């Protein structure tokens, strides 16, 4: 597995690591209530210290083969508009896709564009056999993105996640290498 964080380019985005000077921007974007409400691991409130700790840990988590985190940057402006991630399980050659887009940039196809690039990297560069993702059943936008990028709906895990004191249903989606290669 490569140990240097990749830089992935799409038609509109540059997916790259974050630098410490971006902590304030990350803090501002991730602190919106919808981000924490619709993700499993982002706390609310999201503090500046949390943003700094997150950025400081990106390279080490990738080097150890645990997690790839890349910022979504708009090509034309270099504006940070969200994050895309791939949590890796090397033993099973599985990647779990995650991410979010800032409120002012939603519904423009950025999440799908970034996710496709990271999935392609996972299958072609990391040798993954399967890439999957989950979202809360109430998060219709994320479910649409997953279907748009070619992940197949695999089912609903009822009351599988405790979020803010409420048991949430999780929808599961995935693609295997053969499916991905056929879609290219």
Q: Which domain holds residue 82?
A: 8-129
**In terms of Cα–Cα distance, which of 50, 38, 62, 48 is closest to 164?**
38
Q: Is residue 61 part of a domain?
A: yes
In a domain, 2, yes or no: no
- Is 172 inside any structural domain? no
124 domain-assigned: yes
Residue-wise pLDDT for 2-56, tens only, equals 678 999 999 999 999 999 999 999 999 998 778 988 898 888 889 999 999 999 9
Residue 68 in any domain: the answer is yes
Number of domains in the chain: 1
| Ramachandran class of 99: left when φ > 0, alpha when ψ lies in -120 to 50, beta otherwise | left
Taking 70 as the threshold, does the pLDDT of residue 184 lie above it? no
Q: Is 6 helix (H, G, I), strand (E, B) or coil?
A: coil
CATH code, 59: 3.40.630.30
Residue 102 clears pLDDT 80, i.e. is over it: yes
The answer to whether 70 and 16 have CB atoms below 8 angstroms apart is yes
User: Model-level pTM greater than 0.85?
Assistant: yes
CB 140 within 8 A of CB 168: no
Tens digits of residue pLDDT in 51-84: 999 999 999 999 999 999 999 999 999 999 999 9
């Amino acid at each position: 597995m490569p140990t240097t964080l990749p830089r992935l380019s799409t038609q509109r985005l540059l997916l790259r690591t974050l630098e410490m000077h971006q902590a304030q921007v990350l803090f501002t974007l991730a602190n919106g209530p919808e981000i924490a409400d619709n993700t499993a691991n982002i706390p609310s409130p999201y503090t500046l210290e949390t943003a700094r700790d997150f950025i400081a840990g990106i390279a080490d988590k990738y080097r150890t083969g645990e997690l790839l985190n890349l910022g979504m940057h708009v090509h034309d402006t270099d504006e940070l508009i969200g994050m895309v991630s791939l949590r890796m399980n090397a033993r099973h050659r599985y990647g779990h896709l995650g991410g979010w887009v800032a409120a002012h940039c939603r519904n423009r196809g950025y999440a799908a564009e970034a996710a496709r690039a990271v999935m392609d990297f996972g299958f072609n560069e990391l040798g993954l056999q399967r890439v999957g993702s989950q979202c809360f059943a109430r998060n219709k936008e994320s479910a649409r993105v997953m279907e748009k990028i070619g992940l197949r709906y695999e089912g609903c895990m009822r009351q599988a996640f405790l979020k803010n004191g409420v048991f949430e249903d999780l929808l599961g989606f995935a693609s295997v290498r053969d499916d991905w290669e056929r879609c290219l």
